């Protein structure tokens, strides 16, 4: 912001012929330009869906955003922090890692943390983009939110020297009931009407919605009955 304000006031270049004031302003301009560039930090950011159903397996993406340091990071380390009731963590290298011929190696999850390395037997640098894809399985308990964050973020250049790398903002995912078919946070008559219409063939379930609540492979009266129990104050017994 400071750089943009200064640039708007004095223009992109101050002529050397502008006298003593011009020389001083030009020097200040170059100093701020250097300062702003040197303080720009690369960021690792975790992202995922806006919400998810209890017990659902969801994808998380770890992305590298390098505003002024793209082209300097050749290897990465990070730790993802997750709730203790989250299970089934697995990961693969993302597109930005594959493009740089890097591989993802992660340790064993311990006490709600998982540490991973992104590296390769080369000096190729990362471009911006998704460096790792993780899959996690959420708790079967709806009504809460699952929080994920990145700590211990380390970056190194091709010579093995450190590069400043931040952990970005945490990710919070609301966990909804499996019976909340329209994902509005409430199981009610709207969900019942939807499943009745789907059973009768009046409409079809949206992509990503699984109305087979009892898991028997068929959408029928038994699924509607389970949903009615939940909509009238009972527990969601969906499988």
What pLDDT score was predicted for residue 36?
A: 45
Write down the pLDDT at residue 178: 93
Q: In what order do the strands lie in the sheet with 165-166?
A: 87-93, 129-137, 57-65, 42-47, 165-166
Given this model, what pLDDT does residue 68 score? 54
Residue 7, CA distances (Å) to 20, 25, 75 in order: 19, 11, 34
The class (CATH top level) of 178-239 is mainly alpha
Per-residue pLDDT in tens (0 to 9) along the chain, 239 residues: 444 444 444 445 444 555 555 545 444 544 444 444 445 678 999 999 999 999 899 999 999 997 655 558 999 999 999 998 898 899 999 999 999 999 999 999 988 999 999 999 999 999 999 999 999 999 888 878 899 999 999 999 999 999 999 999 999 999 999 999 999 999 999 999 999 999 999 999 999 899 999 999 999 999 999 999 999 999 999 88
Q: What is the pTM of this model?
A: 0.75
CATH number for 42-176 (one of 3.40.30.10, 2.40.10.10, 1.10.10.10, 2.60.40.680): it is 2.60.40.680
pLDDT of residue 4: 47
Question: Measured between alpha carbons, how far is 104 from 120 in angstroms, rounded to an integer?
Answer: 9
What gap in Å lies between CA 65 and CA 128, rounded to an integer? 5
Q: What are the structure tokens assigned to 237, written together?
A: 């017994």
Nearest to 95 by CA among 65, 138, 133, 68: 133
Q: What is the pLDDT of residue 7?
A: 46
Q: What pLDDT score does 37 carry? A: 44
Q: What is the pLDDT of residue 143?
A: 76
Domain limits, the chain: 2-39, 42-176, 178-239
**CA–CA dist 92, 18 (Å, integer):** 57
């Amino acid at each position: 912001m400071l750089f943009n304000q200064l640039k708007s006031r004095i223009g992109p270049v101050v002529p050397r012929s502008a006298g003593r004031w011009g020389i001083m302003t030009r020097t200040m301009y170059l100093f701020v330009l250097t300062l702003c560039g040197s303080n720009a930090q690369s960021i690792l950011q975790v992202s995922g869906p806006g919400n998810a159903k209890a017990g659902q397996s969801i994808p998380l993406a770890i992305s590298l955003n390098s505003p002024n340091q793209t082209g300097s990071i050749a290897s990465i380390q990070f730790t993802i922090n997750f709730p203790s009731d989250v299970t089934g963590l697995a990961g693969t290298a993302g597109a930005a890692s594959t493009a740089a011929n890097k591989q993802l190696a992660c340790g064993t999850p311990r006490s709600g943390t998982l540490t991973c390395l992104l590296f390769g037997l080369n000096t190729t640098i990362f471009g911006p983009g998704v460096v790792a894809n993780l899959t996690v399985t959420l708790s079967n308990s709806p009504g809460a939110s699952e929080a994920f964050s990145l700590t211990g973020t380390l970056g190194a250049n091709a010579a093995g020297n450190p590069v400043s790398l931040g952990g970005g903002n945490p990710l919070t995912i609301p966990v909804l009931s499996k019976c909340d078919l329209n994902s509005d946070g409430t199981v009610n008559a709207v969900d019942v009407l939807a499943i009745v219409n789907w059973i009768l063939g009046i409409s079809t379930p949206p992509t990503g919605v699984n109305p087979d609540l009892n898991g028997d492979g068929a959408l029928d009266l038994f699924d509607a009955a389970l949903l009615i129990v939940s909509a009238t104050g009972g527990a969601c017994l969906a499988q």
